[in-house]
């Protein structure tokens, strides 16, 4: 069998490189090890629920990686060790709410925390264990590859914390509205289909009357607010049911829990008002507002977007 002939190079023909160009382009990029150190006094912390892994620059301590518990005394020792190592800034991931106590402890000792979004760190290679991850965070922070997340002042954080708690209370109150709807449906009381808002004046008045022992649909329909679109006859027909005791018990429990959560929401609103009054004014109301740096392209731009611009 004859061997295939090799193509001979013609005069004036240039040889095409196979893969050399790609390898050359790869060599042009800067490796992580070759990046300049922008934060020589940077440290990295991997935060967990019970333990915290802390890494400092290798030349600062004989054991540059240490493990601390999450108790307050251990956080105090961690901050003191970082200060003794000459650390001025620390990178940490925003993991749940576990990062808040170490963050506050570092600020108390004059160390600047760099809070990093954990979602942005998922795609960064190099993490295998908590021991390696804190060192990886320390290295990325030292070469300036981490973008700190925004954290407002302490007084604003207090208001934001209560606002988030208030949102949770509203969600829990809404769950008990669904429980009331379910109890009414199981008794074939279709009042929540006749009126749009079961927690309005008409809806709650009818539910309270039912829980107080009223079963006559005609008398219950008289509690209709004049502004309700549904007629009194429609509401009367929707209030004919079987009145099973187990569903009445569920309705009573749900109504009480709904009322309880709204009392908690009202107390939360009062506390938020106190914090808002104590806030220092950031803008003088007598000053003329500054013009927008970039006016919106059309009049349909959201108000929040224009404000943040």
Strand 112-116 versus strand 89-93 pairing type: parallel
Are the CB atoms for 137 and 92 separated by under 8 Å?
yes
Per domain, the residue ranges of the chain are 35-142, 157-278
| Per-residue pLDDT tens listing for the chain (309 residues) | 455 555 555 555 544 444 444 444 444 444 455 568 889 999 999 998 899 999 999 999 999 999 999 999 999 999 999 999 999 999 998 878 899 999 999 999 999 999 988 765 655 555 567 788 888 889 989 988 888 888 888 888 899 999 999 999 999 999 999 999 999 999 999 998 899 889 999 999 999 999 999 999 999 999 999 888 889 999 999 999 999 999 999 999 999 999 999 999 999 999 999 999 888 666 666 776 666 665 555 444 443 333 333
Q: Which fold would CATH assign to domain 35-142?
A: Nucleotidyltransferase; domain 5 (3.30.420)
At 73-95, the pLDDT tens digits run 999 999 999 999 999 999 998 87
Q: What DSSP element (H or E) covers 141? A: helix 130-142
At 206-239, the pLDDT tens digits run 999 999 999 999 999 999 998 888 899 999 999 9
Secondary structure class of 174 (helix, strand, coil) = helix
> Tokens 């002042």 correspond to what residue?
153
């Amino acid at each position: 069998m004859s061997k295939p002939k090799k193509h001979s190079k013609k005069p004036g023909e240039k040889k095409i490189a196979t893969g050399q160009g790609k390898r050359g382009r790869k060599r042009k990029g800067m490796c992580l090890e070759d990046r300049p150190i922008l934060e020589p006094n940077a440290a990295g912390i991997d935060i967990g629920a019970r333990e915290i892994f802390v890494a400092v620059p290798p030349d600062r301590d004989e054991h540059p990686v240490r493990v601390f518990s999450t108790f307050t005394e251990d956080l105090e020792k961690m901050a003191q060790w970082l200060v003794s190592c000459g650390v001025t800034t620390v990178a940490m991931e925003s993991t749940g709410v576990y990062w808040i106590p170490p963050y506050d402890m570092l600020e108390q000792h004059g160390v600047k925390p760099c809070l990093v979004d954990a979602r942005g760190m998922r795609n960064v290679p190099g993490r295998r264990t908590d021991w390696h991850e804190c060192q990886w965070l320390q290295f990325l922070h030292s070469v300036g590859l981490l973008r700190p997340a925004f954290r407002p002042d302490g007084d604003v954080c207090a208001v934001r914390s209560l606002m988030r708690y208030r949102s949770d209370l509203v969600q829990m109150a809404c769950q008990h509205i669904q429980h009331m709807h379910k109890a009414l449906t199981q008794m074939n009381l279709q009042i929540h289909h006749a009126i749009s808002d079961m927690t309005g004046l008409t809806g709650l008045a009818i539910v309270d009357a039912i829980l107080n022992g009223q079963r006559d649909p005609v008398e219950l329909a008289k509690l209709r607010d004049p502004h309700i679109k549904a007629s009194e006859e429609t509401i009367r027909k929707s209030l004919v049911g079987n009145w099973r005791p187990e569903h009445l018990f569920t309705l009573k429990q749900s109504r009480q829990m709904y009322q309880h959560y709204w009392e908690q929401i009202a107390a939360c609103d009062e506390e938020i008002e106190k914090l808002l009054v104590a806030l220092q004014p950031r803008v003088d109301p007598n000053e003329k507002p500054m013009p927008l740096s970039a006016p919106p392209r059309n009049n349909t731009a959201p108000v929040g977007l224009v404000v943040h611009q």
